Amino acid sequence: MRVFFPLLTLLAVVVFGVSAIAAAILSFALPAILLGLMVATIARPFIAVRLGAAGFKALGGAFGLVGDFFRCLFAPLKELEPELDDSSFPPLWVRLKPARFIALHRVQQEVAAALGVPTVDELWISPDTALGIGQQKLEGQRVRFMVVGLGLLHVLGPEELRAAIAHEYGHALAGHLRLGRWIRHTVRVLLDARLRFAVWNPALWGSAVALGLMRGIYLPWSRAREMQADQISARLVGGATAAAALRKVRDVAPGHDLALVELLHRAQAEGVAPTRLVECAQRRMQRIPAAARLSMARQLEGDPLDLGGRTHPPIAMRVAALNGLKAAVSLGAVPAFDPRQLADLDERLTRQWLSSIHVREWVSAESLAVASPPPTPVLAARSPTPPPETPAALLPRTAEELAKPTSDGLELDLDRSWQKRRE
């Protein structure tokens, strides 16, 4: 797998590259012909001037096409992202120094040491149930970070959380992160070409063929890498624990994320938010009947026997592959997180998460969860629920004040590029 999929990806790049070279040759052929005719008709100044003007104009267009190709190759979708980004919210991430959440930092540090991979430099905390490892250039330096959804700490137990973190570090151990970045960049290049070039341009035809080839490559590769990361996690924590984490993420996490999205839509529309966003989302999720949560999980997962279009294998298939696997190492028990610390962190981060959507009014999580109807478990977006009758207290906190460094080490990432695109 380490060689097969990169070679197929390289084949897709070659297909697109050949079509782009053909487009460049054809674009320079027209000005060459016009300039050649200009030289041939030099005895007729009127015609020669007209041919020369047209030739130089076509030459400028050819160089512009080459520039578009290089922009597409090295900065794909960068110019088109404002039009492509139709999300309601910016990324709700807060950069947190690992030592500021020392209990979580120790868990991921223990897992990384057991697998023999480098630990992340930063923890990025979000209010959902996300979990993943990434790399980004910040302030001139490459920073490896782990995105951890605070909601995930409410969904998973300590041992199950360690299994989920081991799965993410399993991707790093198997080399998936580096290859994944290469494949994602290639897909972005091909999508950029599809949006940038006209129908007469051979680069458009080549990108269509290469994109179809990439689709045939990426989906089975993605499913295979998830199974491999599951196996690495099971070798560290045992198949039973890894399977339990997968089941909980499938059955409980969608309800939390649905409740969270409805709270965010309401906060954006009405300017009212709970003091503890994650706690309120958990309370609202628990009010969804268990049968409805299970039905929603099945809708999101789809038919377990249909792999077409899937980046992840069905949970049932992944659980079956983990059956009977034993841990190869012995790790100590993971202490449970202090509920008071989680509540304090939730309250501290809620104002930072929501500052980018200009929320300045807060009510208690209990009143907002009880006064509003539970979220409806459907996949379509819901309209905001009406505001509660509880009067909200106005907190005069500006974005500049929130962005200032604090004594507890929290660093707010307001994603100012997102704000500028909408000003």
Q: Model confidence over 326-344: pLDDT tens digits?
A: 988 888 888 888 889 899 9
pLDDT bin (cut points 50, 70, 90) of residue 363 is low
Per-residue pLDDT at 99: 73
Beta-carbon neighbour count of residue 277 at 10 Å? Answer: 29
3-state secondary structure of 394: strand
Token representation of residue 104 = 């979580």
List of E strands, 150-261: none
Per-residue pLDDT at 384: 37
How far is it, in rounded angstroms, from Cα 321 to Cα 325?
Answer: 9
Residue 79 exposed, middle or buried by CB count within 10 Å (0-12, 13-18, 19+) = middle
pLDDT bin (cut points 50, 70, 90) of residue 355 is confident
pLDDT bin (cut points 50, 70, 90) of residue 390 is very low
The answer for residues whose C-beta is within 8 angstroms of residue 76's C-beta and 6 or more apart is 185, 188, 189, 191, 192
For residues 293-300, average pLDDT: 80
Per-residue pLDDT at 217: 78
Instruction: Evaluate whether 150 touches 339 at the Cβ level (below 8 Å).
Output: no
Element spanning 404, H or E: none
The span from the first CA to the last CA of the chain, in angstroms, equals: 46
DSSP per-residue codes, 255-286 = HHHHHHHHHHHHHHHHSEEESSHHHHHHHHHH
Q: Model confidence over 116-156: pLDDT tens digits?
A: 999 998 899 999 999 999 888 877 788 899 999 999 999 99
Per-residue pLDDT at 46: 82
Q: Is the pLDDT reported for residue 267 higher than 90?
A: no
Beta-carbon neighbour count of residue 140 at 10 Å? Answer: 5
Beta-carbon neighbour count of residue 69 at 10 Å? Answer: 24
Per-residue pLDDT at 377: 62
State percent of the chain over pLDDT 70.
79
Stronger pLDDT, 135 or 308, i.e. the higher one: 135
Q: Model confidence over 95-115: pLDDT tens digits?
A: 887 777 888 999 999 999 999
Residue 18 exposed, middle or buried by CB count within 10 Å (0-12, 13-18, 19+) = middle
DSSP per-residue codes, 92-125 = --EEE-GGGGHHHHHHHHHHHHHHT-PPPSEEEE
3-state secondary structure of 249: helix
Q: Is the pLDDT reported for residue 161 higher than 90?
A: yes
Q: What is the mean pLDDT of the chain?
A: 80
Q: Is the pLDDT reported for residue 357 higher than 50?
A: yes
Residue-level length of the chain: 423
Q: Is the pLDDT reported for residue 287 higher than 60?
A: yes
Task: Give domain limits for the chain.
Answer: 4-83+186-220, 90-177+223-422
